[in-house]
Amino acid sequence: MNFYINSHPYYCGIDLHARILYVCILDSDGKTVLHQKISANREALLNLLSPYAGNIVVGVECMHCWYWVSDLCELHGIDFVLGHALYMKAIHGGKAKNDRIDSYKIACLLRGGNFPLAYAYPKEMRSTRDLLRRRTSLMRHGAQLKAHIVNTNSQYNYPPLELHMKNSGVREQFRTRFEDDSVQRSVNFDLTILDHYAHELTNLERFLERKAQKHRPDYYAQLRTVRGIGLILAMTILYEIGDIERFESVQKFASYCRLVKCKAESAGKVYGTLGNKIGNGHLKWAFSEAAVLYLRGNDKARRYLDKLQKRMSKAKALSVLAHKLGRCVYYMLKNKTVFDDERFLKS
């Protein structure tokens, strides 16, 4: 956990909502200079912050609507920090809770050097990252639709199809497959959505690839040299990392990617692990997928996995391989090198 420890003449805590803001400003002595509820618009917030520009830091919790506050502060040269929502909940919990109290506590955390930092993703690549995440959620919804069709097929004891439903010809076979018109209508509803997804997602992936080659062509080219990392995984890793220089060490990078577990220990006894869900779930997914795909048609990698499985289960062995890939990607991007398969398996 990293804390914001810089000193300023004034500290501003904002309890952020979609329609209103509760703003609290403290001076360096802890005296309340301003404590006010305003509407969530740029002009109202800027009117409050302008007199303190250059002498104030603004802190908000990492909720869904922090983008515009960050962009406003950047535009007008006001220091801005983003608070880690989970850590802040643990630190400033109390018996009473409302917007006024929360904004005051955020300002107090800033002033006291106890404000837990989250990464404020840069504006230039942020919208593309969100679009890529949106694509992932749509793909998962498409998988649910395909599973529903396959389950319906089994439910009515129809013979299974050998080919995958990603093929339009296979989907077309389900258009008139069922005798019951209600069942057929339900399946056709799924098929119509899947057809639209197939068309739109293809165009979306082309758009995202052009963006990736524009934003970070170096990262994109390096990631594509890794066996098992294709178009989607490369873009996911690229946009979720943003800038590799923000990670001071490979250990912090692996922790952020959820590739390591932290011990829960007390009085010399280990009680298990904690914080397994703290970090970036998208990177955890990407490296887990990359580990499985790296094994495909790779005899040397399979022998390496078999060697690991002599000491642990297959699931743990795959986690070790994902961790190894994560460390490899960190050093590749840091040192501006490409993937070396021989060196990877020897290390």
Q: What string of pLDDT tens digits covers the 347 residues of the chain?
A: 789 999 999 999 999 999 999 999 999 999 999 999 999 999 999 999 999 989 999 999 998 889 999 999 999 999 999 999 888 876 766 777 888 998 999 999 999 999 999 999 989 999 999 999 999 999 999 999 999 999 999 999 888 877 788 888 888 888 888 989 999 999 999 999 999 999 999 999 999 999 999 999 999 999 999 999 999 999 999 999 999 999 999 999 999 999 988 777 777 777 767 667 788 999 999 999 999 999 998 999 999 999 999 999 999 999 999 999 999 999 999 999 999 988 888 76
* SS3 (DSSP) at 274: strand
| CB 321 within 8 Å of CB 291 | yes
Given the structure tokens 């809770």, which residue do they identify? 97
State how far the Cα of 345 lies from the Cα of 223, in Å rounded to an integer: 17
Q: What is the pLDDT of residue 144?
A: 95
Tell me the helix, strand and coil percentages in the chain, rounded to 5. 55, 15, 30
Tokens of 152: 């319906």
Q: What is the pLDDT of residue 170?
A: 82
* SS3 (DSSP) at 38: strand
Question: For the chain, what is the total number of helices (H) and then of strands (E)?
Answer: 14, 9
Q: Which residues pair with 37 in a beta bridge?
A: 22
State how far the Cα of 286 lies from the Cα of 236, in Å rounded to an integer: 7
The model carries a pTM of: 0.88
Q: Which residues pair with 39 in a beta bridge?
A: 20
Closest to 77 in 3D by CA, of 56, 59, 107, 62: 56
State how far the Cα of 150 lies from the Cα of 148, in Å rounded to an integer: 6
Tokens of 328: 């490899």
State how far the Cα of 105 lies from the Cα of 345, in Å rounded to an integer: 50
Separation in Å, CA 98 to CA 43, 81, 95, 101, 283: 24, 22, 10, 5, 34
- If you ran DSSP here, which 8-state letter would residue 20 be given? E
CATH class of residue range 3-118:
alpha beta
- Where on the phi/psi map is residue 272: left (φ > 0), alpha (ψ -120 to 50), or beta? left
